Amino acid sequence: MSAALNFSGRTVLVTGGTKGIGREIAEAFLAAGADVVVCGRAEPERLPEGGGREAVFVPTDVREADQATALVQATVDRFGRLDVLVNNAGGSPDADAATVSPRFVEKIVALNLLGPFYVAQAANAVMQLQDSGGAIVNIGSVSAHDPQPGTAAYTAAKAGLLALTRALALEWAPKVRVNHITTGLIRTESAASVYGEDGGVAVAAVIPMQRMAVPADIARTCLYLASDLAGYVTGSDLAVHGGGELPARYLATRS
């Protein structure tokens, strides 16, 4: 492993790190030598593992500011420091914007925008006092750039997360770097049915890279943005979406 990607002696917090993409991110940092804390509303049957160690789980609803602050404090109490925060918790079921309830909108915005802000704010307070500072990586979505039907609240929240990333990068430099990953279509076991009966084969055909991302693609990008290799990178939006999607007009000419 490159020395720049060796996280031994560093502490990493991954929100929503018990399953799916978050779990892959947590296991990548564990394999790279980091001490890792993950959170969620329910404790998983099996914790993320890597490098012969397990992540530490702290039950947390990041939508609640006091719980977000307690999560960061629990991390520092356990390991004495916090070097990297990955704001991964998020998501939303599709909903019709014309009929969706105010409560639904509030929950989606809280999970995808307010939660990341609450945890980042608490993390920054710790990182600013460390000689080595820290790095925050926000996991965003292509929806922030290219909305899809049924995702109005989610799209608005993710667009806000991108803007928040840039604002925090300005305010918290030079001690704390804040970056954003625009994720595209990601193949996970739980999402396979969303992409059709073929498991996403047809969907992959409209992506220039000819495949959907897998969680490891996002995890490796987190390692880079949190590492010294990205020591001069802050306020960035790194697209990890295989080139996006081919334009509809191009697809129409091929059919």
Tell me: the pLDDT tens digits for 37-85? 999 999 999 999 999 999 999 999 999 999 999 999 999 999 999 999 9
Tokens 């996002």 map to which residue? 218
Q: Domain limits of the chain?
A: 3-191+213-246
24-28: average pLDDT? 98
Q: Point out which residues pair with 213 in neighbouring strands.
A: 186
Peptide bond into 174 cis (omega under 30): yes
Give the pLDDT of residue 217. Answer: 94
Q: Which residues contact 178 (CB under 8 A, 6 or more apart)?
A: 120, 135, 136, 138, 165, 168, 169, 172, 234, 235
Catalytic hit among 154, 224, 232, 250? 154
**Residue 21 host element (H or E):** helix 20-31
Residue 96 has pLDDT above 60, yes or no: yes
Return the amino acid letter for 98.
Answer: A
User: Three-state SS string across 200-253, please?
Assistant: CHHHHCCCCCCCCECHHHHHHHHHHHHCHHHCCCCCCEEEECCCCCCCHHHHHH
Average pLDDT on 91-107 reads 95
Give buried/exposed letters for 226-237 (b at 16+ CB in 10 A, else e): bbeebeeebeee
Q: Are 226 and 84 in contact (CB under 8 A)?
A: yes
DSSP H or E run through 177: strand 176-183
Q: Is 195 a catalytic residue?
A: no
- Decide: 11 and 82 in contact? Cβ < 8 Å: yes
Buried-exposed string 67-90: b where 16+ CB fall within 10 A, e elsewhere: bbbbbbebbbeebebbbbbbbbbb
Question: Is the per-residue pLDDT at 223 higher than 60?
Answer: yes
When pLDDT is averaged across residues 95-118 and rounded to a whole number, the result is 97
Is pLDDT at 105 greater than 90 in this prediction?
Answer: yes
Report the DSSP beta bridge partners of residue 238: 181
* Helix, strand, or coil (residue 228): helix
Is the CATH code 3.40.50.720 the one for domain 3-191+213-246?
yes
Residue 112 in contact with residue 92, Cβ under 8 Å? yes
What spatial distance separates the first Cα and last Cα of the chain, rounded to whole Å?
45
Structure tokens at 204: 């992959």
CA–CA dist 25, 17 (Å, integer): 7
Token pair 């404090």 in the structure block, residue: 73
**pLDDT at 1 > cutoff 70:** no
